[in-house]
Amino acid sequence: MEDLRAFDHTEDGMDARTETVRDRNWKGQGVEQAMISGGQRGVRSRTGRPTARDVAREAGVSPTAVSFVLTGTHPEKVSAATRKRVLEAVERLGYRPNRVARSLRTHRTGAIGVLLTDIKHPLLARTVSGIQQVARQYGYHVVLHNTSFNPEAEREALQFLADLLVDGIIFVSTSTWGDDSVLLEWTQTPLVLINRALSESIPVPSSLPRVRVDYRAGAKEAVLHLVEQGCRRIAYVGAVLTGPGASLAATERYGGYRDALAEAGLPYLPELVHISSSSRPGWDDGAEAVERFLAYGFDGLYAVNDYAAAGAIGRLLRGGLRVPQDVAVVGNDNTEVASHHSPQITSVDPNWEEAGAVALRLLQSMLDGKEKACESTRGASGEAGTTRDGASTGRDGVVAVRPKLVVRESSRRVG
């Protein structure tokens, strides 16, 4: 019986006509491929790819043995000889397991869904990169979804990923929108948030695991670096702090600036603070600010992004001042400009790459926890206290990632 089946294409109670029709609908070349590539062995499923059963037949063993060998489970239940025959058959047939079928059976896809607001945002791209690096380590694959700042699309994408049965979801965002109820109620698939501030209005201090970049610490480090370089009158160029354009990042960076001054025992000089009217200050803001500061005298400047820093440097140079000798400058975000500018600009790298990595490790620990103990309902976030460099678990189980300073010419004073 076994042997008979191996050479019969139309068995399994399916007649030839039926098979042709279905193949046409599904994979097109299925039949031809089976004829051509599989001809010698005569074994190829109707999809054009050999199946585990084909391997079993080829090796002369049972599907069970094939499964055990390939998944590595129950290694004690398969003899060395069997294993060898299976592996050889796999090699001979060029067999690759069908992951869809496997997922249907195991309810695990080995994929992590990543939801983000905008793939074109350089910082988010870095986060994805960080996630992907860790994913590779853990053997996960990444399914990416762009929501383009559209709340409706966010909801939809979340559902889609759940339908796809991804093992976990990471939601990366730069901004907040109003209604977080979807996220709070989300119980279908383990979820980790990156920089997704939950509306303050919601009273429930949710146990939803979150990772955030510590803007405040980054700004503080930048300013303290300037202090270290000998600066005593340090100016600040920042984004709007109140009104519609205000952001958490802006507030925190301003706070970090003041923190640093306080820590260094330097006075806060309002005349050296320039708050842009925009949420994202640019070249002009930097230049304008310098123009104004020049009257008061200053020897250091921290700008909340690299464009403003570049603008400031441009204005300083045109004014005949030297950077960093007369004024040392530090930017923020460590974007391409920072390294491409001349002089190269010292900049705070937000470390979003690390944020991605941390988030995935967090997710991993949730998945692990889930597999081991049924009773742990949701808050596996506690487990993640074991964070690595630059990340620390704070109140509410929110993990904060520390930005790191990349020192370049614009602030490096010899000695």
Partner DNA sequence: GTGAAAGCGCTAACAC
Partner DNA sequence: GTGTTAGCGCTTTCAC
Task: Say if CB 310 and CB 339 are below 8 A apart.
Answer: no
Q: Which does 377 bind (CB under 5 to 8 A by kind): a second copy, DNA, none?
A: a second copy
Q: Is 52 in the site for DNA (CB under 7 A)?
A: yes
Q: Which of 92, 141, 404, 412 binds a second copy (CB under 8 A)?
A: 141
Give φ, ψ of 291 to 5 degrees: -50, -45
Residue type, position 100, single letter: V
Helix (H, G, I), strand (E, B) or coil at 403: coil
- What is the rounded distance in angstroms from the CA atom of residue 20 to the CA atom of residue 12? 14
Q: Which long-range contacts (CB under 8 A, 24 or more apart) does 379-387 make?
A: 379/207, 379/209, 380/190, 380/209, 381/207, 381/208, 381/209, 381/210, 384/209, 384/358, 387/358, 387/361
Helix count (H) and strand count (E) of the chain? 16, 13
The region of 104-112, 197-205, 215-223, 271-279 touching a second copy under the rule CB under 8 A is: 104-112
The phi-psi region of residue 201 (left if phi > 0; otherwise alpha if psi is between -120 and 50; otherwise beta) is alpha
Q: Is 274 in the site for a second copy (CB under 8 A)?
A: no
Q: Is 187 in the site for a second copy (CB under 8 A)?
A: yes
Q: Which does 342 bind (CB under 5 to 8 A by kind): a second copy, DNA, none?
A: a second copy
Q: Which of 39, 60, 122, 205 binds a second copy (CB under 8 A)?
A: 122
Helix (H, G, I), strand (E, B) or coil at 311: helix
Chain CA centroid to CA 265, Å: 38
CB of 47 to DNA, least distance (A): 3
- What is the rounded distance in angstroms from the CA atom of residue 306 to the CA atom of residue 150? 28
Cis amide bond preceding 205, omega within 30: no
- What is the rounded distance in angstroms from the CA atom of residue 218 to the CA atom of residue 229? 17
Token pair, residue 154, equals 């966010």
The interface with DNA within residues 1-20 (CB under 7 A) comprises 2, 12-15, 17-18
Token pair, residue 388, equals 């690595």
Residue type, position 402, single letter: R
Q: Is 188 in the site for DNA (CB under 7 A)?
A: no
DSSP tag of 402: P
- What is the rounded distance in angstroms from the CA atom of residue 95 to the CA atom of residue 222? 55
Q: Binding string to a second copy for residues 276 to 305, with x set by CB under 8 A, is what?
A: ------xxx--x------------------
Q: Is 75 in the site for DNA (CB under 7 A)?
A: no
Q: Which of 10, 20, 73, 188 binds DNA (CB under 7 A)?
A: 73
Q: Which does 28 bind (CB under 5 to 8 A by kind): DNA, a second copy, none?
A: a second copy
Q: In the beta sheet, which residues pair with residue 170?
A: 114, 192
Q: Is 53 in the site for DNA (CB under 7 A)?
A: yes
User: For 245-351, where are the alpha helices, taking DSSP H only?
Assistant: 248-264, 283-293, 306-318, 336-340
Q: Which does 60 bind (CB under 5 to 8 A by kind): DNA, a second copy, none?
A: DNA
Q: Which of 6, 70, 165, 197 binds a second copy (CB under 8 A)?
A: 165
Q: Which of 5, 340, 388, 413 binds a second copy (CB under 8 A)?
A: 340
Q: Which of 62, 133, 376, 377 binds DNA (CB under 7 A)?
A: 62
Q: Binding string to DNA for residues 88 to 127, with x set by CB under 7 A, is what?
A: ---------xx--xx-xxx---------------------
Identify which of residues 49 and 212 has a Cβ nearer to a second copy in the complex.
Answer: 49
CB of 186 to DNA, least distance (A): 20
What is the CB neighbour count within 10 angstroms for residue 281? 26
Which residues are at the interface with a second copy (CB under 8 A)?
A: 23-29, 31-33, 47, 49, 96-101, 103-104, 106-109, 111, 119-120, 122, 125-126, 128-129, 132, 141-146, 159-160, 162-165, 187-188, 282-284, 287, 307, 311, 314, 317-318, 335-337, 340-342, 370-371, 374, 377
Which residues are at the interface with DNA (CB under 7 A)?
A: 2, 12-15, 17-18, 21-22, 25, 45-47, 49, 51-53, 60-68, 70-71, 73-74, 76-79, 81-82, 97-98, 101-102, 104-106
